[in-house]
Amino acid sequence: MVLESKFFLPLLFYKIDSLKSDLSIAWPSIYGDDDAFWAKQWEKHGICSTFKQYEYFKHALELWKAHNITSLLEEKGITPGACYDYQHINTTILAEIGSVPHITCEGSTYLAEIHLCFDAATATQFVSCSPFAQSNCMGKKGMNKISFER
């Protein structure tokens, strides 16, 4: 049996062509270059998973559909266009999924990403994200309001 080594395997875009229109809605780059963003996500996270390229991105789409964080936050009254305490967003997600997310900001005050972490083998069970991944959402002098934009 020959195993495909995923280490240093660049993202082969033709393998995910059929997913790209859905990915551009579910997992877009905030900087505009989706292909470069997806390649970075594959290199940073995908090669650590048990999935091949197509399965990794297909599974990401399935998880996004099943666990739409924007909808979850809106149901709890956290809506785009306002500022919220970092801790309020964090604990709202924790209460809903039972695991600690990792939240990152653009600068220190604009919500950029909410990472949900799953077990590496099946990606079906939530696990708390690493406590070593420090959030960059804390403002100066302990201020912790972050803006939730669309």
Per-residue confidence (pLDDT) for residue 143, from 0 to 100: 45
Of 130, 120, 104, 136, the closest CA to residue 45 belongs to 120
Per-residue confidence (pLDDT) for residue 54, from 0 to 100: 94
Name every residue whose Cβ is closer than 8 Å to that of residue 67 and which is 6 or more positions away in sequence.
Answer: 97, 116
- Please state, in angstroms and rounded to a whole number, the distance separating the CA atoms of residues 105 and 64: 20
Per-residue confidence (pLDDT) for residue 132, from 0 to 100: 74
pLDDT per residue, tens digit, the chain (150 aa), is 344 445 556 788 889 999 999 999 999 988 889 999 999 999 988 888 888 999 999 999 998 898 888 899 999 999 888 888 888 999 999 999 999 999 988 877 788 889 888 887 777 889 998 877 778 886 544 446 677 765
3-state SS track over 72-125: HHHHCCCCCCEEEEHHHHHHHHHHHHCCCCEEEEECCCEEEEEECEECCCCCCC
Residue extents of the structural domains in the chain:
14-66, 68-150
Per-residue confidence (pLDDT) for residue 98, from 0 to 100: 92
Per-residue confidence (pLDDT) for residue 61, from 0 to 100: 94
Of 120, 116, 113, the closest CA to residue 135 belongs to 113
Name every residue whose Cβ is closer than 8 Å to that of residue 115 and which is 6 or more positions away in sequence.
Answer: 101, 102, 103, 104, 129, 133
Per-residue confidence (pLDDT) for residue 2, from 0 to 100: 41
CATH architecture under which domain 68-150 falls: Alpha-Beta Complex (3.90)
User: Where does residue 103 fall: left (phi above 0), alpha (psi -120 to 50 degrees), or beta otherwise?
Assistant: beta
